[in-house]
Amino acid sequence: MTTLTRHQSHFVDGAWVPGGSPELIDVVNPATTEVIGVVPAGTADDVDAAVRAAHAAFPAWAATPVAVRAEYLAAISRGIQARVEELADLITRDLGCPHPMALLGQAGRAHLPLDLAAELVRGFEFESTVGTATLVREPIGVVGAITPWNFPLMQVTGKVAPALAAGCTVVLKPSEVTPLAAYVFAEIVREVGLPAGVFNLVQGYGPVVGEAIVAHPLVDMISFTGSTAVGKRVSVVGGQTVKRVALELGGKSANILLDDVDLEEAVTNGVGACFLNTGQVCAALTRMLIPRSRLAEVGEIAVRAAETYTVGDPFAPGTVLGPLVSATQLDRVRGYIELGIEEGATLLTGGSAPVEGQKGYFVRPTVFTDVEPGMTIEREEIFGPVLSIIAYDDEDDAVRIANDSIYGLSGGVSSADRERAVAVAKRLRTGQIRINGSSGFDPLAPFGGYKQSGLGREWGVLGFEEFLEVKAVL
């Protein structure tokens, strides 16, 4: 066994403390299937200790001057930037993310939520007047932050930064699949001297640690990112204590290419918007909607683009697609590919066969055409590099197909006429729309979904305000 790191403690009340159970969770490198580390399997008692520490620390932290809170955030940001190479290496081994993306798109961006929150809170008006009332915005209290495996550091800072800026204290449970970067974050928090109990980390499985955080009566808010199925459970359990629940869940986002678009550019960009992070992105544009008359042409372009995505060792130069995160995820994605074939979609490239010469959890970049509305691969979130090409008859039909989904997280519209694209975007029931191949990333813009893609928003002012209560003083 190659051991990268061995952690048997949680971070509670400003110190590393042993867990209440001797059980450990293996952390597996998905590119090699080797165990690279272990973390403790936390218990409900571990959660209780962390929540009580956060609860005790809350009054003093909430009363801490805004400028002081902002400086702590800035110091944590500097700590992340100083260790960005180490973090990128860790994320590549933990997640399987190709190293250039881990460096630039994962670890390299992880400081941004801290910088944004520090700047935002310095200028935020916590008091305002409406009629005869003074509205006072106050931190909601103890926040339980439950983060996913696909962005193991960005999602941590994306939740913790605005919560701390608002004056809340935090108990974090990162995914047990990619838990290692959260330890570095906790080390940085300790090094900058954040007061004890303001930030706490408990590792473990969702049904144990996650459930205990959501159910705990001293937790005032849950910020959860993950699957829609688990998000529903979070809503049910959180509802027992009527706590605020912010959910960023799944997606099956449509990318509409209008009939006047430059297909070569739009299709190539669309393939990239589907395959980012080996397709393990909730906002991936996995349904490409194109004019029926252009179906064959779009398929040819998509295949050319997909076949440029080199699959392999995430540390090797030129690798664009690393492995999927786990054996479970590999089985899931292969199952969807086989189901797409069974239901009558046409497989243009890729497929479920093993990738030659690779030991880990690799899957081929896959493109289907002749995908009909209602097929499983058109309806359900696959979370892998699988693109479904769907034909539409006219603009109204494209909007109908795009909106006919239980999800509403992201989407795209491309046209030679930007105003036309924006007009179509306004008809889509989804939380974010990329126009003409934009990146879909602006830290000032809110992110979140309609329908079963979630509740609430992250990023920007709206994301910050999720962590505040409003009091009217008359």
With H, G, I as helix, E, B as strand and everything else as coil, classify residue 74.
Answer: helix
The full DSSP string for 216-246 is -TT--EEEEES-HHHHHHHHHHHHTTT-EEE
Residue with tokens 């191949």: 437
Give the Cβ contact number of residue 261 at 10 Å.
22
Angle at 213 between CA 212 and CA 214, to 5 degrees: 95
Query: What is the side-by-side order of every strand in the sheet holding 244-248?
Result: 15-18, 9-12, 199-201, 169-173, 142-146, 221-225, 244-248, 454-455
Catalytic residue among 211, 274, 282, 378: 282
Phi/psi for 298 (5° steps) reads -65, -40
Find the catalytic residue in 176, 248, 458, 466: 248
Cβ atoms < 10 Å from Cβ of 86: 12
Q: What is the DSSP letter of 354?
A: P
Quick count: other Cβ atoms within 10 Å of Cβ 319?
18
**Which strand (E) or helix (H) includes residue 142?**
strand 142-146
Contacts of residue 237, defined as CB under 8 A and 6 or more positions apart, other chains included, come to: 211, 214, 215
Active site includes 282?
A: yes
Residues involved in catalysis = 248, 282
